[in-house]
Amino acid sequence: MTAPPLPAPAIGAARPEEPGAPLGCALHAIRGLVALDTERGATAALPAVREALRRFPQLAATPASLHAEDGDLLAALAELAEVIGWILFDAGLNSRARRMNARALALAELCGDRWTARLVLLNHSMLEAHTGRPRAALASAARVAGPKPLPARVASLVLIRQAHAVAMLGARREPLALLGRARSRFLDGVSRRDPHWAWWIDESELLGHRGWVLARLSHWDRAIPLLHAAATAPGPSYRHLFTAELLAALARAGAWNEAEDLVAELAPRAAGIGSVRTTGTLRRTARDLRRSARAPGRLKDAAVHLLESLPA
């Protein structure tokens, strides 16, 4: 996502100082989509995505046909495509997200917007990991680097993406080393070179991903407290994913009482979760618990209730 969440009117409305201007409309669309996704989740933002795609046919045009467009407009369209790609990914529409990420990259390259291109590559690395393609996830993260050192927060996120991928490939020590480097780089703090989209790379984001990578390595004693800290911190809607990963970690660790408590907390609000990535993880964990030969009967019953509470 490329802009902090701000209250915004309907998608596509022009700014007062730029009535009807394409650039103003595109920037306003970005803010509206980010606000919707942050507050209510990706599935709630899908109608606005469809409206944005209708209003901006340039998002479906070939890059060669857009050479004559103003550079600022192309940059805004690249950001808009990046946001749409992110929402499609979190809404479980992975093939469409891939296509939109490719369009965002093409637009960013057309206008020389290297920072938007980097964000798209970081998003795409997560998509590749999510769909079981860790080598492709590594390749996407590797493309973020440039001739100059990256700002601390961006560098820390690249290292986190790499840690996820190498953990999926079966490495044991390298993910830990990457997590340590990510933590060290993050502690270097904010700089004037940070891109404007780096607002969401904060302590909770790093805690959640560190815990998630440690869970991939079955380091439950370290993973569970980090995931719990990230899941209980205030933040955007998509961070419900850390709660889902926390439940998965508790279940795999055999922490039955803690898992039952978390399921009881989750079930009443499960229907309002707007991230298909999150609900998919919750659904898999609940099904595993229901079939488990070791899980207590009360937890199995709670898992069935969670399955019934999740949105279709």
Radius of gyration from C-alpha coordinates of the chain: 20
Q: pTM of the predicted model, to two decimals?
A: 0.91
How confident is the model at residue 210, as a pLDDT? 98
Within a 10 A sphere around the Cβ of 134, how many other Cβ atoms? 20
* Domain spans, the chain: 1-112, 232-312
Q: Do residues 271 and 232 touch, judged by C-beta distance below 8 A? A: no
Q: Are 227 and 215 in contact (CB under 8 A)?
A: yes
Report whether 63 contacts 110 (CB < 8 A): yes
Rama region for 230: left / alpha / beta (φ>0; ψ in -120 to 50; rest): alpha
Question: How confident is the model at residue 9, as a pLDDT?
Answer: 34
Task: Give the separation between CA 16 and CA 84, rounded to whole angstroms.
Answer: 24
Query: Chunked in runs of 10, what are the mean pLDDT values of the chain (312 residues)?
Result: 42 42 94 95 97 95 84 96 98 98 96 97 98 98 94 97 98 98 96 92 96 98 98 91 98 98 96 96 98 97 97 87
Question: Please, which residues have CB within 8 angstroms of residue 215's CB and are 6 or more apart in sequence?
Answer: 223, 224, 227, 245, 248, 249, 252
Would you state the pLDDT for residue 20? Answer: 56
Strand ranges for the chain from DSSP E: none
The confidence score (pLDDT) of residue 2 equals 54
Nearest to 246 by CA among 210, 202, 273, 275: 210
